[in-house]
């Protein structure tokens, strides 16, 4: 556990991994005013595949257990784990919901990349704390995708999924880990497409993952609508997230097409017909 710390300089979280299934809190701010919490679902110690869910604006310890409905990070984590187990019943899967940074509390504050920079190092540190043999997928929604992008230079992750990303925090592909596959889900009705793509000092969140310079693979989001529908139950979006998280990349579907196939040594992708 960590003590409460000023929002601008949060102390590094201390993680506690205990064997066994179910759910367990890996780390949390202590004392009144704490804002961070990291919870695991499934048996992390024995998992072959671990998905780390990084939420965006407005999520914190105070509403973590009370927030209900489609935007609640805890429910999303449980939903992703169920879908991973459904997609690959034989896989040993686990999910971590990581609210390990001080999320922006409104859209005005979300124009700054400072909270993402502050959280990225701790997110990267978590990936090295997880079992070294596990396949790790970072799943960032909205501002959480920016945190994932900034963490990639030092994180250990085979895949990164950006959902409704306002920007990956970077401007060039070489600012990311070139060994990590970058995926993007963008619903056509998501207003995030109007978010300015800039980066000037602490202002702006960088390029979209779908910009040619970053070269993400776009996957089908099916019936997902708006900015918060990517984890919708029984949607192609959720199925594709789970397929990526359990390493079934050949089964991931493209918008209006079939599964993705990729050259093993490049960021190039084509659609199987």
Please give the residue range of the domain that contains residue 216. 23-271
pLDDT averaged per 10 residues, the chain (length 273) = 44 76 81 83 95 93 82 93 97 96 81 88 94 96 96 96 95 89 95 74 82 95 92 96 98 83 38 25
Per-residue pLDDT, 268: 33
Specify the pLDDT at position 8.
Answer: 53
pLDDT, position 14:
84
pTM: 0.88
User: Could you tell me the CATH number of the domain that includes residue 115?
Assistant: 3.40.50.1820
**Residue 139 is assigned to a structural domain of this protein:** yes
Q: Is residue 49 part of a domain?
A: yes
Is 248 part of a structural domain of the chain?
Answer: yes
Residue 129 belongs to some domain of the structure: yes
Question: What is the DSSP pairing of strand 49-54 with strand 93-99?
Answer: parallel
CA pair distance 39, 17, nearest whole angstrom: 10
Q: Is residue 63 part of a domain?
A: yes
5 belongs to a structural domain: no
- Tell me if 9 is assigned to some domain: no
Residue in 155, 184, 150 with CA at minimum distance from that of residue 52: 155
SS percent in the chain: helix, strand, coil, step 5: 25, 20, 55
Q: How many domains does the chain have?
A: 1
Residue at 153 is within a domain: yes
């Amino acid at each position: 556990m960590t003590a409460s710390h000023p929002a601008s300089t949060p102390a590094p979280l201390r993680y506690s991994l205990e064997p066994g299934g179910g759910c367990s809190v890996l780390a949390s701010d202590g004392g009144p005013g704490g804002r961070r919490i990291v919870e695991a679902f499934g048996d992390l110690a024995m998992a072959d595949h671990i998905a780390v869910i990084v939420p965006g604006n407005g999520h914190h310890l105070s509403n973590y257990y009370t927030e209900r409905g489609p935007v609640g990070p805890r429910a999303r984590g449980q939903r992703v784990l169920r879908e991973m187990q459904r997609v690959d019943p034989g896989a040993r899967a686990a999910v971590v919901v990581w609210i390990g940074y001080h999320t922006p509390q409104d859209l005005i504050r979300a124009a700054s990349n400072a909270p993402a920079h502050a959280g990225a190092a701790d997110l990267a540190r978590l990936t090295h704390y997880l079992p070294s043999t596990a396949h790790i997928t970072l799943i960032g929604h909205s501002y959480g995708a920016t945190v994932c992008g900034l963490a990639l230079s030092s994180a250990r992750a085979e895949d990164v999924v950006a959902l409704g990303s306002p920007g990956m925090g970077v401007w060039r592909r070489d600012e990311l880990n070139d060994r990590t596959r970058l995926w993007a889900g963008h619903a056509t009705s998501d207003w995030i497409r109007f978010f300015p793509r800039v980066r000037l000092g602490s202002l702006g969140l960088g390029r979209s993952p779908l910009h040619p310079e970053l070269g993400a693979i776009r996957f089908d989001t099916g019936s997902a609508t708006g900015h918060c529908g990517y984890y919708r139950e029984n949607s192609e979006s959720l199925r594709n997230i789970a397929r990526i998280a359990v390493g079934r990349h050949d089964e991931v579907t493209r918008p209006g097409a079939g599964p993705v196939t990729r050259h093993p040594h490049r960021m190039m992708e084509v659609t199987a017909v």
